Amino acid sequence: MRNIWLIARREYLERIHAKSFLIMTILIPILMGGLLYGAAIVNSRIGSNHIAVVTDNPKFAEDLKTELSPKTRQAIVDVYSPTEPGVRDLLDQRMQKRSIGLGGYLWVTPPAAGESRGTYEWDPKAKADIVTKSRVADAVRGVLARETLAQKGMSAAEVNDLLKPVELKPPPKDRKNSDAAFASAYGLFFLMYFVILFYGMNVARSIIEEKTSRVFEVMLSKVRPAEMMAGKVIGVGSVGLTQVAIWIVVALAAFKIQGLGSELDALPTPGQLACFVIFFILGYILYSSIAAALGAMTNSEQELQQMNMFLMLPLIACSVVIFRVVTDPDGPISVFMSFVPFCTPLIMYTRIIVHQPPVWQIALSIVLLIATIYVILWIASRIYRVGVLMYGKKPNLPEILRWLKYT
Amino acid sequence: MPIVELQHVRKAYDTKIAVADLSFQIEPGSMFGLLGPNGSGKTSTIRMMIGMTVPDAGTVKLFDQPFQRDLLTRVGYLPEERGLYKKMKVIDQLVFLGQLHGLDAATASKRAYAWCERMEITEAIEKKTEELSKGMQQKIQFIAALLHEPDLIIMDEPFSGLDPVNATLLQDTLVDLRNQGRSILFSTHRMDQVEKLCDAIALINRGNLVLSGGVREIKSRYPRNRVDIIFDGDAGFLDHPTIESAKNYSGHAEIKLNDGASAQHLLAAAIENGTHINHFEVMEPTLEEIFIEAVGGKADA
């Protein structure tokens, strides 16, 4: 145990004192924040809010404009009369001019005798702009509904009431709403995903580094390979956890300062939070162990890059089924996946958040997870030790399997 | 009670037999040389001694006990393929490695300072390893193997890559340690060092023991049939019938005599020939010659 602690401490201190740690700690939140903020800005301006409508009914055009304008953003609707000569050419020309920013035009043909509805022809500037198209279609439907209801004698207030969107509220006994549950489940998912992406491979890299510098033969005369592996996983892993902890504390402090404390009520219960910590740490150790095994098998960074997918594949599998799990937490797929150790941390935690599974299932999944970590570390340490004897040449799978039998 | 005892040890990797059947023992307080051409199984043998690999057959005993990892706290090991943590300061590194051997930080640090002084590298103590020359790094690795004051010191090619000054410093240190009663095993290609330093040797080739025993005793098994002559003038005496083979390096002849021939006749013939003799010595074969003869002259070591 003492040796594991010594090795872990060495790895931890060396990395914490490196300049790159400080830089990453500051830079990543800035980059991520910038990315999220940028994405929000870009997406909020999707679709055009300037269209033209060709109709001889000015009331329709006015209603359409109201319908198209949400509270925050005023739409521009140019009105043209279909009887105007050359109106189509004029609109086509206007659409080509960037400075005008016309997103398309709607050509309204009044209903022929005996038909209830006219025809609406939409000519967009960008053929693939489905956002504007569906917005206009919704608006036209809204205008028609209002018109019809008004004709039937309903007052404007009554019509507004009727067309208001419906909000589905959680039952009062459930303090957490489902949005918060989703948020924390996805939060864990992305946190783990990124931490593994940034740090998982560090364990592998540190093992390869030791092979390149040939320190490991010196080390192996003093410690067991398993102690070496465990020390590395704990030491390098703690660096990642330290960084995540720093980010979380800073983020919480920022929330408090901004007076968003009430948002924190949406966080999971203490029990769920404990599960979060347990599954996060175990999941992290599991993936670090896999990385350790990959590092033990390879001799250079380049070879390691090719192995990268073994680390990402289980994560991708999780992201494929996670929607299923969220909607059907007790279904056979969800239960099965939550017992596959590589998916347990993400899937089981999501199940706990969405709908509390039986305690024995949680306990069993944790036991399986720990057993898997143990087996992988054992394999990794065997490969690592035999790697001392044979280096320079990339081992193939049968060789690796034979190595496991060496004593 | 031997410090190290190998009995019919065998180790094979896949299809390659690294050590076929090897037995020898190291007496306490002696300096032991493990010799052999490249690829003869020296490193494989050493690795089995420190438990990095386990023999397929046979037994390894350390300190008269069957091998177990706990005994390694009494062993200092310097591998042939050695490295250090590049980003670590020398003192941190030595303390870390000392701690892995069971020392506490304060003792490790105190001993590290004392050793650095002895190995004349005090200026390197506060530096990072990557800033040091290769020779300095080797001294630090040497210190790291000795910090915990082991009873048995095992060094794989300790002299490779050292300049003569540092090689001598290391030799003297090893002799001091032996005089303190430690047992030392090292492998090398350098026969002059073996002759100077070792009390006993084992010579292995292709995983088998070719020769073993005390250096004096091994040499006495060979007849004193080597003659070293430094001369001026005519080299005609080198055709004398007592000579089996001779190499003449312009005035310095290394001669091997026929079995049973006397060197006196050769000297008389040379003087008769009118050659001026500056130096004439009758010797045992050198270990180098024994080595080359034993492995069939095919060694590339």
| pLDDT, tens digit, 9 for 90 and up, residues A290-325 | 888 888 888 778 878 888 788 888 888 888 888 888
Contact A10 B83 (CB under 8 A): no
Considering the domain architecture, whether residues B85 and B198 belong to the same structural domain is answered as yes
Contact B87 A215 (CB under 8 A): no
What is the total count of domains within chain B?
2
Considering the domain architecture, whether residues B151 and B248 belong to the same structural domain is answered as no
Place of tokens 């006495």: B220
CA distances in angstroms from B258 to B224, B243, B249, listed in the order given = 11, 6, 20
Give A228's contacts in chain B (Cβ within 8 Å).
none
CA distances in angstroms from A168 to A160, A177, A178, listed in the order given = 19, 10, 11
Contact B81 A220 (CB under 8 A): no
Pick A3's closest partner by Cβ from B77, B81, B100: B100
Q: B47 lies in a domain?
A: yes
Give B14's contacts in chain A (Cβ within 8 Å).
402
Pick B52's closest partner by Cβ from A14, A18, A220: A220
Considering the domain architecture, whether residues B106 and B162 belong to the same structural domain is answered as yes
Pick B100's closest partner by Cβ from A18, A223, A388: A223
pLDDT value of residue B299: 43
pLDDT in tens, A325-350: 877 878 888 888 888 888 888 888 88
State the residue range of the domain holding B252.
226-283
Considering the domain architecture, whether residues B271 and B134 belong to the same structural domain is answered as no
Pick A213's closest partner by Cβ from B50, B72, B86: B86
Q: Which residues contact A48 (CB under 8 A, 6 or more apart)?
A: A101, A102, A103, A104, A125, A129, A132
Q: B296 lies in a domain?
A: no
Considering the domain architecture, whether residues B165 and B247 belong to the same structural domain is answered as no
* Res. A181 pLDDT band, cuts 50 70 90: low
Q: B49 lies in a domain?
A: yes
Nearest CA in chain A to B100: A3
Q: B289 lies in a domain?
A: no
Nearest CA in chain A to B141: A218
Closest CA to B5 of B21, B33, B29, B24: B24
pLDDT in tens, A69-118: 766 667 788 888 877 778 888 888 888 887 777 888 888 888 777 777 78
Minimal CA separation from B67 to chain A, in Å: 14
pLDDT value of residue A172: 62
- In this prediction the ipTM stands at 0.75
Q: How far apart are the first and last CA of chain A?
A: 22
Distance of alpha carbon B5 from the chain centroid: 18
CA distances in angstroms from A174 to A166, A249, A264, B178, B255, listed in the order given = 20, 27, 16, 78, 102
Pick A10's closest partner by Cβ from B52, B72, B96: B96
Closest CA to B25 of B157, B217, B209, B206: B209
**Residue B235 vs residue A79, higher pLDDT:** A79
Give A214's contacts in chain B (Cβ within 8 Å).
79, 81-83
Query: Does the domain at residues A49-163 carry the CATH identifier 3.40.190?
Result: yes
pLDDT in tens, B51-69: 877 888 888 888 888 888 8
Give B97's contacts in chain A (Cβ within 8 Å).
218, 222
Q: B290 lies in a domain?
A: no
Ranges of each domain in chain A? 49-163, 176-405
Minimal CA separation from B14 to chain A, in Å: 9
pTM of the prediction? 0.73
Considering the domain architecture, whether residues B68 and B106 belong to the same structural domain is answered as yes
Considering the domain architecture, whether residues B103 and B144 belong to the same structural domain is answered as yes
pLDDT value of residue A268: 58
Considering the domain architecture, whether residues B266 and B138 belong to the same structural domain is answered as no
Give B52's contacts in chain A (Cβ within 8 Å).
217, 220-221, 385, 388
Give the separation between CA B58 and CA A94, rounded to whole angstroms: 94
CATH code for position B234: 3.30.70
Considering the domain architecture, whether residues B91 and B30 belong to the same structural domain is answered as yes
Name the interface residues of A facing B (CB cutoff 8 Å).
3, 6-7, 10, 14, 18, 210, 213-224, 385, 388-390, 402, 406-407
Give the separation between CA B83 and CA A216, rounded to whole angstroms: 8
Q: B166 lies in a domain?
A: yes
Contact A224 B86 (CB under 8 A): no
Give the separation between CA B117 and CA B224, rounded to whole angstroms: 44
Q: B208 lies in a domain?
A: yes
Give the separation between CA A242 and CA A377, rounded to whole angstroms: 22
pLDDT value of residue B295: 76
Q: Return the percentage of chain A with pLDDT > 70, whole number.
A: 85
Other C-beta atoms closer than 10 Å to the C-beta of B191 total: 20
